[in-house]
Chain A
Amino acid sequence: MPGAVRTANGCRLCTRGAGFEGRAEGRYGMCGVIGLLIRDRDLQPQLGAMLVSMIEALDERGPDSSGIAVYADHRSGGVGDTPRVQVSLGSDEAVDWGNLAGALAKQFADGADAHPFGAGLVVEVSPDQQRSLTEFIRDGWPGVRVLATGLDLRVLKDTGRPSDTCARFGVTHWEGYLAVAHTRMATESAVTVLHSHPFVPAGDLCVVHNGSFSNYATVRRSLMATGVQFDSDNDSEVAARYLARRLEQGDDLEEATRWVMKEMDGFFTLVISTAGELSVVRDAFACKPAVVAETGDYVAVASEYRALAELPGIATANVFEPRPEEVYTWSR
Chain B
Amino acid sequence: MESLNCEVLGTRAVNQRLRALADGEEAQLLHPRGRHNLAVGLSAPVRIGIEGNAGYFVGGLGGGPDGTGPEIVVNGFVGWAVGENLMGGSIRVRGSASQSAGSSARGGTIVIEGDASLRAGISLKGATLAIGGNAGAMSGFMAQSGVILIGGNAGGGLGDSLYEAVIYVAGSIDSLGADAEITEMSDEDILAVKELVSETGFDHIDPTRVTKVTSARQLYHFSTHNHGAY
A contacts, CB < 8 Å to B? 27, 57, 285-286, 289, 291, 304-310, 319, 321, 324
Contact = CB atoms under 8 A, between A and B. Distances in A.
Contacts of B35: 306
Contacts of B77: 305, 319
Contact of A289 (B98, B137, B138): B98
Q: Give 7 closest A-B pairs by Cβ, nearest first.
A: A306-B34, A309-B33, A305-B34, A309-B34, A286-B118, A306-B55, A321-B117
Contacts of A285: 118, 138
A57 B137 CA distance: 28
Contacts, number: 39
Contacts of A308: 34
Nearest to B81: A27
Nearest to A289: B80
B139 interface: no
Interface in B63-82: 77, 79-80
A308 B55 CA distance: 12
A160 B99 CA distance: 30
Contacts of A304: 34, 55-56, 79
Main secondary structure of the interface of B (DSSP, over half): loop
A321 B34 contact: no
B53 interface: yes
A25 B121 CA distance: 19
A285 B117 CA distance: 11
B137 A324 contact: yes
Residue of B34, B77, B80, B98 ringed by the most chain A CB atoms within 10 A: B34
Interface string B125-138: 00000000000111
A309 B36 CA distance: 13
Interface of B: 33-36, 53, 55-56, 77, 79-80, 98-100, 117-118, 136-138
Contacts of B34: 57, 304-309
Given A304-B34, A306-B55, A308-B34, 18 more contacts: A27-B80, A27-B100, A285-B138, A286-B136, A289-B79, A289-B80, A289-B98, A291-B98, A304-B56, A305-B77, A306-B33, A306-B36, A309-B34, A309-B53, A319-B77, A321-B98, A324-B118, A324-B137
A306 B56 CA distance: 10
B53 A305 contact: yes
A307 B98 CA distance: 15
Contacts of A306: 33-36, 55
B168 to A, nearest CB: 24
A285 B157 CA distance: 11
A289 B53 CA distance: 16
A310 B118 contact: no
A242 B165 CA distance: 43
28 contacts: A27-B100, A57-B34, A285-B138, A286-B99, A286-B118, A286-B136, A289-B79, A289-B80, A289-B99, A291-B98, A304-B34, A304-B55, A305-B55, A305-B79, A306-B33, A306-B34, A306-B35, A306-B36, A306-B55, A307-B34, A308-B34, A309-B33, A309-B34, A309-B53, A310-B33, A319-B77, A321-B117, A324-B137
B29 to A, nearest CB: 14
Contacts of B80: 27, 289
A291 B99 CA distance: 12
A308 B56 CA distance: 15
Nearest to B52: A309
Nearest to B103: A27
Contacts of A319: 77
B115 to A, nearest CB: 10
A308 B33 CA distance: 9
A159 B107 CA distance: 44
A307 to B, nearest CB: 8
Contacts of B118: 285-286, 324
Nearest to A302: B34
B178 to A, nearest CB: 15
Contacts of A57: 34
B156 to A, nearest CB: 10
A244 to B, nearest CB: 30
A321 B97 CA distance: 10
Contacts of B36: 306
Nearest to A307: B34
Nearest to A309: B33
A57 B53 CA distance: 15
A305 B79 CA distance: 8
Contacts of A310: 33
Nearest to A319: B77
A308 B79 CA distance: 13
Nearest to B136: A286
Nearest to B53: A305
A221 B138 CA distance: 34
A196 to B, nearest CB: 25
Contacts of A324: 118, 137
Contacts of B98: 289, 291, 321
A310 to B, nearest CB: 7
